[in-house]
Structure 1
Amino acid sequence: MGNIVKWTKSIVLVVAAGVLMLACSQALQVSYDYDSSVNLKQFKTFKVESERTMEQDPLLGSELNRRRLGDAVIEVMKGKGYTLDQSSPDIIVRFMTDVKDRQQVRSNNMYSPYMWWYGGGNNISTYNYQESRFILNIYQKNNDKMIWQGWASGKVKAPTKKDDRESMVKNTMADILRTFPEATLDTYSRK
């Protein structure tokens, strides 16, 4: 009987922890695109900088967030086995952010045979929100050609503490770079 109670308690704790993690996670959609003619596993060194050609949101693109984004990308790329090289890197990872105003329209049809009696009908409501995007563009250094792009977009709730902001940015960059291959020792060429 005691083992059953312990087992039940542990299951309840695991389920509660899982629900809490899902409730705290960001609602970001992550995707990527790449140049299939380039062997992404041939690169070993990288450099990180902010994208220069596009305008950034004044809040998400602030100096503080640019540093957070750059530090997070460096940490994730090093975790994948790449070496930071400021002078002659194989690839350049450029990042940017932006925010778009979005609107969601909801319709609730309440038609029924008795609507003439209690006043049912079509209720329409709108919901305005801002969608944030975090974009990573990876360029091949020798010809400045984009070879990989990853992004995360969705509603971002601003974290309240400094550590929360840094961990949110790091987790977002890790999610975006999840599909980018790790650095390997073999440098075979694709034919």
Structure 2
Amino acid sequence: MKNIVKLMKSAGIAVVAGVLIMACSQALQVSYDYDSSVNLKQFKTFKVEAEHNMESDPLLGSELNRRRLGDAVKEVMEAKGYKYDQQSPELIVRFMTDVKDRQQVRSNNMYSPYMWWYGGGNNISTYNYQESRFILNIYQKNSDKMIWQGWASGKVKAPTKKEDRETMVKNTMTDILRTFPQATQDTYSRK
């Protein structure tokens, strides 16, 4: 019986610590993956388009947001030194978004060693929310092989003004592409 109480206390502390860590973390978590056999610094031109064969979310995948995402990716790639080329790009940057329903379980462990005297209990509550994902897939044009992927996921709060929406999308794309290498000056002298 004592082991069960200790186990429940430990589990309650772990849940509370997890909730506190999640509450203090940033809204979007960003990560990436890449093909290590490809020299990412060899490319200089790109084009941007929506990912093919995807289910589009009616809000995040709307025409308005597709334009915002495409414009933001283009702006960030150009700021990194790449040149936009619609006809014969070396890289194709494809973007997509989706939303997943998530549920968070919270526990307020009120057990104590004196619960037989004072009473006690374990209050469990659930919190439903939607997690958004912004995904960038970068393909090498000549082989149509994915060479880099970056994504941001988390709870997104809807901005209130048009400028805020565009700023939020641009900042998200900047965060995702932060690890993608800058175009180097010697890249432009090679071809």
TM-score class normalised by the smaller sequence: 0.7 to 0.9
Farther-moved stretch of structure 1 (52-61 vs 143-152): 52-61
Instruction: State the Cα RMSD in Å.
Output: 1.3
The TM-score, its normalising length taken from structure 2, stands at 0.82
CA contact (8 A) 1:26 1:157 kept: no
Moved more, 116-125 or 137-146: 116-125
Q: 1:73 maps to which residue?
A: 73
Aligned partners of 1:94 and 1:137 also within 8 Å: yes
Tell whether 2:141 aligns with 1:137.
no
Matched residue, 1:32: 32
| SS of aligned partner of 2:126 | strand
The 5-angstrom pairing of residues 13-92 of structure 1 reads 27-92=27-92
Q: Identity across aligned pairs (percent)?
A: 89
Counterpart for residue 105 of structure 2: 105
1:178 matched residue in structure 2 = 178
| 1:111-144: CA deviation from partner (whole Å, max 9, x where unpaired) | 1133234431111111100000000000000010
Contact 1:26 1:155 in 2 (8 A): no
Q: Which residues of structure 2 form unaligned runs of 5+? A: 1-24
Q: CA offset at residue 167 of structure 1?
A: 0.1
Q: What does 1:137-176 align with in structure 2 at a 5 Å threshold?
A: 137-176=137-176
**How far off its partner does 1:26 sit?**
5.8
Contact persistence 1:46–1:90 (CA under 8 A): yes
Letter in 1 for 2:80: K
1:108-127 correspondence to structure 2 within 5 Å: 108-127=108-127
SS in 1 for 2:184: coil
Equivalents in 1 of 2:99, 2:176: separation in Å?
Answer: 17
Q: After the TM superposition, which segments of 4 or more aligned residues of structure 1 sit over 6 Å from their partners?
A: none
1: CA distance between counterparts of 2:65 and 2:75? 15
Question: How big is each residue's C-alpha offset from its partner over 1:35-72, in whole Å with a ceiling of 9 and x where there is no partner?
Answer: 00000000000000000122121100000000000000
* Structure 1 gaps, min length 5: 1-24
2:5 aligned residue: none
User: Does the 8 Å CA contact 1:26/1:156 hold for their aligned counterparts?
Assistant: no
Cα 1:93–1:41 change in 2 (3 A) is same
Q: Greater CA deviation, 99-108 or 145-154?
A: 99-108
